[in-house]
Structure 1
Amino acid sequence: MEDRVRPAAPHPARDVTEHVGYRLKRASAALRSAMDKALREHGLTVPQYSCLELLDEQPGLSNADLARGTFVTRQSANVVLRGLKDAGLITRADVTDHGRALPVHLTPAGQQRLHVARESVYAVEVRMIEAIPQRRLAALLADLDAMAEALTD
């Protein structure tokens, strides 16, 4: 068996739990778990909530737009949209005037559900950001954006 040379770590770390990627994943998993718990009370999943938020900001988005904005595949977005439509929270045109994209809109029930759920989600975010000094929040957000941009093809 051939001896393999271990590549140098990207920064000093005693073990994998001290790597930036590990810490980001841990924070992401904790956020997802807290959001899942908060949204369960409103009968929503995180992807459903994310779709409602995007549609509130940009009515008429297509399935592909929503998939990109919620970080899921188009097939997964279709499942999410079907659930939202069955719950009466969105409307989706059967045909479109141009192209193939079918615009999606919130219903009044969708707007109401979003409003109530948003309070729960924002409470989760408040809990999360209260764990760091307020003076460091802007730098943290800039650093997260820079890391994402560094990995974007």
Structure 2
Amino acid sequence: MSSDDTGHHARHLARPRTMYLLNQANQAIRSQLEQALRGLSLTGIQYTVLAIVGSRDGISSAELSRRFFVTPQTMNEIVTGLEKRGLLRREASAENRRILTASLTTEGEEMLKACDAIADEIEAASLKGLGEADLQELRRILRLLLIDLRGG
């Protein structure tokens, strides 16, 4: 057995599974975020959509659905809800009139600031046990994982 096989075998036998640990950490933090966002009548996924639209002005719903690993129909429902609340607007893309791109409204920018403040508090409290070097390493590893999971 090669050292790669041994490493893979040991990784396979690790319990609990890494994906279980990732999921549990995600669920614990998401639960706190969801509860805190209720006061703003927003869900975690709605906040995350606002954050991505805020950082990638003009993103399409199709691009958003790929980022969230949800169907275009599901993302369209989320975006439509945010649009009806006046938090974002959609308009036809200059390159392709059939594609609608999303942008934050002034109200959406204000909501995003309020949500970011809540998320900052939850993230700081959740990760307070990590030193700066560990936190940076965790972020590096998670970015690599996301690149792989998104296919490149």
- Please state if 1:145 is matched with 2:143: yes
Name the Cα RMSD after superposition: 2.0
Larger Rg: 1
Moved more, 104-113 or 134-143: 134-143
SS state of the match for residue 64, structure 2?
A: helix
State the shift of 1:12 in Å.
4.6
Equivalent pairs, count: 142
Distance 1:67 1:9, change over 3 A: same
Change (3 A) 1:148 1:117: closer
Question: Quick one: which amino acid aligns to residue 48 of structure 2?
Answer: S
Alignment of 1:1-153 (within 5 A): 10-13=11-14, 15=15, 18-93=16-91, 95-99=92-96, 100-151=98-149, 153=151
1:10 maps to amino acid = R
**Counterpart contact for 1:35–1:121, Cα < 8 Å:** yes
CA distance in 2, matches of 1:63, 1:105: 11
Deviation at 1:43, TM superposition (A): 1.1
Considering fraction of residues, name the structure with more helix. 2
What SS does structure 2 have at the residue aligned with 1:72? coil
Q: Deviations over 1:13-58 (max 9, x none)?
A: 4x5xx22111111111112111111211111111211111111112
Distance 2:32 2:69 in 1: 18
Query: Following the alignment from structure 1 to structure 2, what is the Cα–Cα distance between the partners of residues 152 and 82?
Result: 25
What percent of counterpart residues are identical? 30
| SS of the residue 1:140 aligns to | helix
- CA change 1:96–1:113 in 2 (3 A) is same
Q: Distance in 2 between matches of 1:133 and 1:61?
A: 35
Structure 1 length as normaliser, TM-score? 0.81
Helix, strand or coil for the counterpart of 1:103?
A: strand
Q: Give the TM-score normalised by structure 2.
A: 0.81
Deviations 1:50-74 (A, max 9, x none): 1111111121111112222334221
